[in-house]
């Protein structure tokens, strides 16, 4: 299997969590559940395998995506297909990073997966064709980097004070949100407007997602779990509140989640039909 990561120049890298290329991935399942992380993705399919999304409850197929698609900020889990011998290139934006490249308020993509030509036009399919022809991962990355430079609109960058605020939320996922909101140098209404434009969510909902993902990390590090301790140490009102939140974001109740015996490497995606 090939797995490579590309590091953008400093003037652009602050907008991206990662740009990854992999080839030859063969998962041991065909459907996986992706929990929300607060990110926007652009995904290039390079293996001519259509990808499916499914109803979270029935697992009935909802839609099919090919070539290139954009996954917006999701508020709860997403069920998608996984395939043998996969080859893909994936751009993951930072929570405030997508707007200067997508040129549309991120809120419009909430809970959506859309064909990339709806955002970028047919140019995105031409780029995919060029990526397919490129012989090395580095040459593929360079094509993507050049395209990102062309798309970048510095006038659409999030203001520094919003970046600072978002970084504080990320560093303090268990803190009292009100104390952090009070530090924002604008009104609460303006904060919500800024967040919807650049992140897609409200600050409160984004903070809830951060807290949930931090709890998944805690679970992966512990041999023995006390749900009551986690509920109260992570600022839930009670254990019932914690269980409802856990189910909202993962589709599992906490006890069921532990019984599934997911590996410690799996922090935001979980197989639903693992073989053997």
User: Same domain for 136 and 172?
Assistant: no
Same domain, 226 and 90: no
Are residues 236 and 142 both part of a single domain? no
Task: Please say which residue of 156, 184, 204 terminates a domain.
Answer: 156
Asked whether residue 61 falls in the same domain as residue 125, the answer is: yes
One domain for residues 11 and 141: yes
Same-domain pairing of 87 and 138: yes
Question: Do residue 193 and residue 140 come from a single domain?
Answer: no
Q: Are residues 122 and 214 in the same domain?
A: no
Instruction: Return averaged pLDDT per consecutive 10 residues of the chain, 276 residues in all.
Output: 90 92 94 96 98 96 98 97 97 97 98 98 97 97 96 96 96 91 94 98 97 89 78 86 94 86 73 78
Domain count, the chain: 2
Q: Report pLDDT for 225.
A: 76
> For residues 233 and 78, what is the distance between their CA atoms, to the nearest angstrom?
27
Q: Are residues 185 and 242 in the same domain?
A: yes
Closest of 56, 67, 48 to residue 31, by C-alpha: 56
Is residue 11 assigned to a domain?
A: yes
Tell whether 9 and 146 lie within a shared domain: yes
- In this structure, the answer to whether residues 135 and 41 fall within a common structural domain is yes
User: How confident is the model at residue 263, as a pLDDT?
Assistant: 56
- The sign of the CA dihedral 34, 113, 205, 104 is positive
Range of the domain at 42: 2-156
Residue 276 inside a domain? The answer is no
pLDDT of residue 258: 81
Instruction: Tell which residue, 108, 75, 73, 111, has the closest CA to residue 92.
Output: 73
Are 243 and 133 contained in the same domain?
no
C-alpha closest to that of 177 among 153, 148, 218, 206: 206
Q: Provide the pLDDT for residue 264.
A: 62
Question: What is the CATH number for 122?
Answer: 2.60.120.10
* CATH, residue 248: 1.10.10.60
């Amino acid at each position: 299997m090939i797995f490579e990561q590309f590091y953008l120049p400093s003037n652009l890298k602050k907008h991206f969590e990662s740009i990854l290329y992999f080839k030859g991935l063969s998962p041991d399942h065909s459907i996986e559940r992706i929990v929300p992380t607060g990110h926007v993705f652009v995904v290039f399919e390079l293996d001519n395998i259509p990808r499916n999304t499914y109803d979270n409850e029935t697992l009935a197929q909802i839609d099919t995506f090919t070539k290139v698609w954009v996954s917006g900020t999701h508020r709860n889990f997403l069920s998608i297909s996984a395939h043998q011998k996969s080859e893909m290139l994936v751009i993951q934006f930072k929570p405030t990073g997508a707007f200067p490249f997508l040129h549309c308020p991120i809120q419009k993509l909430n809970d959506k997966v859309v064909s990339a030509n709806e955002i970028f036009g047919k140019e995105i399919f031409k780029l995919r064709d060029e990526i397919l022809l490129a012989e090395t991962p580095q040459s593929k990355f360079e094509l993507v980097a050049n395209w990102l430079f062309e798309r970048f609109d510095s006038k659409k960058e999030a203001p520094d004070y919003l970046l600072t605020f978002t970084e504080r939320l990320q560093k303090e996922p268990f803190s009292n949100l009100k104390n952090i909101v009070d530090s924002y140098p604008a009104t609460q209404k303006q904060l919500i407007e800024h967040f919807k434009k650049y992140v897609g969510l409200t600050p409160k909902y984004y903070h809830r997602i951060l807290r949930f993902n931090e709890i998944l990390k805690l679970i992966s590090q512990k041999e023995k779990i006390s749900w009551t301790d986690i509920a109260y140490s992570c600022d839930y009102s009670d254990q019932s509140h914690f269980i409802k939140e856990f189910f909202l974001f993962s589709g599992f109740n906490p006890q069921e989640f532990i019984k599934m015996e997911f590996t410690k490497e799996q922090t935001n995606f979980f197989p639903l039909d693992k073989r053997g």
